[in-house]
Every structure is written in C-alpha cells, then in structure tokens.
Amino acid sequence: MPVALLTEPTPANRGPREPAPPPDALDAGFAARVTANYPLTGARSSAEKRHVEVDLMGSDLDYQPGDALAILPRNDPQVVEALLDCLGIAGGMPVADGAAETSLTDALTRRFEIGVASPRFLKHWAALSGSQQLRALTKPEATDARRDFLHAHHVIDIVRAFPVGGLAAETLVAGLRPLQPRLYSFASSPAETPGRAAITTSTLVYELHGALRRGVVSGFQVPAASPGTSLPVRVEPQDFRLPADDAAIIMVGAGTGVAPFGAFVGERRARGASGRSWLVMGARTARDDFIYRGDWEAALADGYLDRLDLAFSRDAAEKIYVQDRLREYGATVFAWLEDGASLCVCGDAAGMGPGVHAALLEIIAVHGGYSHEEAMAYLRRLAREHRYQRSIY
C-alpha cells in the first residue's frame, strides 16, 4: 500500500498548537462502548473509510456539530513487543508514572509515541548511539534531510540501524514524546441521535522497510474496535459551526472531510432549519468511494440538502476535484455568498485546502469584478464574520 501520511488526521482551525500535555493528562477519558463499526468504501477502494458509532450515555460528554471526538491512543501490543525485542530490554522494568510506577510495557503502550520518530527522539538517539550520521541530521542546516529521514524511519527502524546496548528504561522513554489524542470530526448530530456519536475514519496502513505499519488509532485501534468493545474518548470543541437556521450554507468536503457535514445536515433536520444547504463533495470513484451516498440522497429527498455536486477524481482521464466543481459553478457560488451564505470547508491541508482557497479567490475576482487583492479582502471579511470557516488537517 502507498506510503501517504505518517500522521493521523487531526482537524485544524484551532490556532497555534498548545504544548504537549504531560503523559498522565492523556489517561483521562470515557470508555465509550462501540455500537457500530463498518467500512464505507467498496472492495476496490485504494483508501478504506470506516463509520464508527459509540455510546456516550452515562458520560458527561456534550458536543455540537463541528466539534471533534478525541480518541486516546493505545499502541499495538505487538509493536511494543517488537520494539522491546529490538532493544533487548525487559518490559517489566519499572518506569515512573507520576507519583507511582508502572512497567515499561505499560508505559510504551499507553503513554509514549513509539511509531513515528520525532526530531526530539532523533537528537536523543544520536547522543546515545554516538552516530555521526544521526548527529549530522540534527544540525539546523539539515532541515530537509532530517525531514526526509524521519519520514522514512520509525523509532524501531532507528534503534535497529543504530543499536545501543545496556539501555535503561528511563533513558529510553526520555527521548519519546507523549502520545497525543487523535481528533475526528463528529459525523452525527446530538439533536438527531442523542447519546450516540459517529465519526468517519480513514484507515492508515502502509509498507515501510518491508514491514506493514499502521496508524495507532486509524490503523490499529479503530479497525479492531468491534461492537461491544470500547474506545477511550473525550470531546474537543472546535471553531467550526453551523450558521443560523435561516442562513444558507455551502459545504465543501473531500474524503473524510464530508463527516462534519453529515452532522450539519442532521442538526438542521432535527431543528427544522429553513436555510438552504449545498454540498460539494469529492471522492476518488463513484463506485467505491462515494461514502454516505444514501444519507445525501435522503437529505435531497427531504429537502435538508438543496443541492449536491460531486467530483470523482479517478473516474475520468482528467482528474476533477472539488475546487474544479466550484469554478464550474462559480457564478452560483458567488451569488450565494452575495446573498449571505456561509462557506464551510473541510479536508486535507496539502492539496484540497489550498486548492479550494485559490478557487474561491478566482471565483470572487471573476464573478465579482474584483482584483486579486480585493478578492483576498472579501474572503478575510467572510472569515471575520464567521462565514468562511475551514477545518483543515
């Protein structure tokens, strides 16, 4: 499988990242019982998407459409065991856990990131191993080489290639960063399905150095979470919100980026909202990647989705993306904006986010008769008015 991303999706639009919390702060969470977990994509899809539902009854967790469900990660025991075997140290060695102690195996399972290597770990291991190659990668001028190396080497690859003997447990964990929650936009509305929450995940599985690697949550925890098991969760509020019930909204999403719009449509249905709704959705193929098709068609039928435009990037010789659909219907997009519509965009930051932003600037310039600078000011005004919102990961 292709090596596409070495990190898992985290909704953005939150401003600067906060400093990493201490490891024990990640232990809090509600054990939410999984009630459904199934693939949304077809057998021929090159990027599996899953629908996961959890029961929040009995918790004090409240959320709004646009918020995110944080899943607290737990490393695969097989990955933990493989790392310990490679290091040649015993998992029963004690490690400080706040004021108490725990085993190294437990610490590596629930407290530390042991998959993707960080610059911090690289610097730590360079000092321990004395490797001149690793030390060269830690220098300020080696930014590009360091990025490429870390992209291609996990923690286990580094410790295998640059062995260190007689390592103490505390010395090992001193170079590891804390496990961070993985955030997934809610795909459900609490007004429509109280006590239940749904998310959409993209399964992260790829090959690296001849071995299969999995995302901690999206590749290991979520696929293994069969109904009846539980996932440790909490709610992370986001600044990604529905406009007023009588306001129009244009929703633009690709892949799992359509998840929050399922929550938006469900919320509007539960509240009897009168505002128009338009979804521009991107996926790879109509046959295998058109996720939630039945839900979108039902929303069109009951009037809580007024328009649906689709961009399937792999179904034609020339790839078509959501930004291309926006340009195609640019006059209508601009007319909706001029009439007071809000614009919500959700998707990846590498291509979709910048592509949609550029398309919007072009649409505003062409159909509004503005210069590029004036079009930028137009979008900035929409953002100030909370009429242009992005959840980009």
Whether the per-residue pLDDT at 22 is higher than 60: the answer is no
Helix (H) or strand (E) holding 344: strand 342-347
pLDDT band at 99 (very low <50, low <70, confident <90, very high): confident
Whether the per-residue pLDDT at 273 is higher than 90: the answer is yes
C-alpha distances out from residue 73 to 100, 215, 367, 389, Å:
21, 10, 47, 28
Tell me the whole-structure pTM to 2 decimals: 0.90
What is the reported pLDDT for 11?
40
Please give the single-letter amino acid code of residue 39. P
What is the reported pLDDT for 98?
76
The model's pLDDT over 67-97, given as tens digits with 9 standing for 90+, comes to 999 999 999 999 999 999 999 999 999 998 8
What is the reported pLDDT for 257?
97
**DSSP label at residue 17:** P
Cβ pair 296, 277 in contact under 8 A: no
CATH of domain 25-73+180-236: 2.40.30.10
CATH of domain 249-392: 3.40.50.80
What is the reported pLDDT for 171?
96
CATH of domain 77-173: 1.20.990.10
Whether the per-residue pLDDT at 28 is higher than 90: the answer is no
The model's pLDDT over 117-144, given as tens digits with 9 standing for 90+, comes to 999 999 999 999 999 999 999 999 999 9
State the residue for tokens 């856990």: 97
The model's pLDDT over 355-387, given as tens digits with 9 standing for 90+, comes to 999 999 999 999 999 999 999 999 999 999 999
What is the reported pLDDT for 97?
80
Whether the per-residue pLDDT at 245 is higher than 70: the answer is yes
Cβ pair 183, 260 in contact under 8 A: no
Helix (H) or strand (E) holding 251: strand 249-254
Rounded distance between C-alpha atoms, residue 88 and residue 82, angstroms = 10
Q: Where are the domains of the chain?
A: 25-73+180-236, 77-173, 249-392
**Residue-wise burial string across 363-378, b where 16 or more C-beta atoms lie within 10 A, e elsewhere:** bbbebeeeeeeebbeb
Radius of gyration of the chain from Cα atoms?
23
The model's pLDDT over 193-231, given as tens digits with 9 standing for 90+, comes to 999 999 999 999 999 999 999 999 999 999 999 999 999
What is the reported pLDDT for 281?
98
The model's pLDDT over 306-330, given as tens digits with 9 standing for 90+, comes to 999 999 999 999 999 999 999 999 9
Same topology, domains 25-73+180-236 and 77-173? Answer is no
Return phi, psi of residue 290, to 5°.
-80, 80
What is the average pLDDT across 59-67?
96
Rounded distance between C-alpha atoms, residue 51 and residue 294, angstroms = 14
